[in-house]
Amino acid sequence: MPQTPSTRWCPTPEQLMILEEMYRSGVRTPNAAQIQQITAHLSYYGKIEGKNVFYWFQNHKARERQKLRRRLSRHQQLLHYQLHQSEDAPPPPSPILQRHMPPHLLHQVFFFFSCLQEATTQGMDLVGKLETVGTEEEEEEPMTSAMGFEQEWMTTMDASSRVPPCCRPLKTLDLFPVKSTGLKDECSSSKSSSCSTSTN
Amino acid sequence: MPQTPSTRWCPTPEQLMILEEMYRSGVRTPNAAQIQQITAHLSYYGKIEGKNVFYWFQNHKARERQKLRRRLSRHQQLLHYQLHQSEDAPPPPSPILQRHMPPHLLHQVFFFFSCLQEATTQGMDLVGKLETVGTEEEEEEPMTSAMGFEQEWMTTMDASSRVPPCCRPLKTLDLFPVKSTGLKDECSSSKSSSCSTSTN
DNA sequence: TGGCTATGAATGAACG
DNA sequence: CGTTCATTCATAGCCA
């Protein structure tokens, strides 16, 4: 039994508190000396190594950025949608498919097609761009506080409530100029309601 | 705080079906844009956020790998008994690949999609490294290089700052479970002794 | 009812 | 740095 129960560092509440405090105080990329210092200090509350501190700051910073990034891109995407919301007659990808197919399947097929198109045109001219859709985007609450820090490329899309039967699917290639700004795209964070996942 | 009060995302059958379909099609690590699109699409079937999609793929991928790892290690252990030479024939490529097939129409769509995926290298990192994982549970390699990257203060605090011995598996290897990862054999379900990450 | 499993979620660790 | 992987936590269904 190679014990190695859990080589992973597990911050104690005190350590975490201190780290967060420092982060809030402005520490984001501590130097080696600072890291040593921090580590020495935190070691009082439990086992800790320099790399733990290093990684902690790295992750914390990265995840906070992700949040920001995703927020920005989400906004931009929404704006983009709005700017292009004039077309409401998307060309059916495959009229034949619509013949005998349940709505949800049709939707799915559309989706796949859109994926196809996106992938095929990835990194190329974004001719199609997304049109259609672009309805009012409700103001989803930021409420990121519920999660603390984690990756959030999470978007709060819950259009399930009043989704127009046939709107979403067709957007051809909805890539947005996110990379150009140096910021990737992420999503927002929020909690969903529970339901029954079974049926599998 | 962020301890998932009681509201976890619960994929609807349709959402799950689509996700699995995509996974089967080769989608493993969708980028932000793809996640956005997937989320937008799935939101048609119910409430969903980008993070749900992200986590789903992450978990799905990780668990598939985990299972393979487990199986492989088992096999290797058995073989280890027989012979030192661990030249076992890898299991079938992908049993999961051919599961139940949704409606017939989906078939062709799926086909297109998979073709596309393959072409776009979405999940074609064929880096089957096959690193026969040392069967010994004792770590032995110095792996100093693992730390020799950025800061060196990593080793200053604690002498036992050794990173987990086993090297890392390469990539994920999507469609074919031929690559053996680090083979950690996570049989140890001793979840005790760890700190309470519950944050509350 | 208590263990077990499956899975969403979170985060430390590390790669490119 | 951004992204990805591995591990762990937490919890909803199962089953005996």
What is the pLDDT at residue B50? Answer: 87
Residue B157 has pLDDT above 70, yes or no: no
SS3 assignment for chain B: CCCCCCCCCCCCHHHHHHHHHHHHHCCCCCCHHHHHHHHHHHCCCCCEEHHHHHHHHHHHHHHHHHHHHHHHHHHHHHHHHHCCCCCCCCCCCCHHHCCCCCCHHHHHHHHHHHHHHHHHCCCCCCCCCCCCCCCCCCCCCCCHHHCCCCCCHHHCCCCCCCCCCCCCCCCCCCCCCCCCCCCCCCCCCCCCCCCCCCCC
In this prediction, residue B200 has a pLDDT band, given cuts at 50, 70 and 90, of very low
Residue B33 has pLDDT above 90, yes or no: no
Average pLDDT over residues B50-77: 87
- As a whole number, the mean pLDDT across chain B is 58
What is the pLDDT at residue B71? Answer: 77
Give pTM, 2 decimals.
0.64
Task: Decide if A120 and B122 are in contact by the 8 Å CB cutoff.
Answer: no
Average pLDDT over residues B12-35: 93
Q: A50 CB near a chain B CB, below 8 Å?
A: yes
Q: For residue A6, what are the CA distances in angstroms to B173, B186, B193, B198?
A: 27, 11, 9, 17
Residues 102-161 of B with CB under 8 A from A: 102-103, 105-106, 109-110, 112-113, 116-117, 119-120, 122, 137-139, 147, 150-158, 160-161
What is the pLDDT at residue B76? Answer: 67
Residue A125 has pLDDT above 60, yes or no: no
Q: A180 CB near a chain B CB, below 8 Å?
A: no
Residue A16 has pLDDT above 90, yes or no: yes
Provide the residue count of chain A. Answer: 200
Residue B66 has pLDDT above 50, yes or no: yes
In this prediction, residue B92 has a pLDDT band, given cuts at 50, 70 and 90, of very low
Give residue-wise pLDDT tens across range A89-121. 444 444 444 445 566 666 666 566 555 545 444
Average pLDDT over residues A76-101: 55
Helix locations, A26-170, DSSP H:
32-42, 50-83, 103-121
Residue B35 has pLDDT above 50, yes or no: yes
**Cα angle: B94, vertex B95, B97; to 5 degrees:** 70
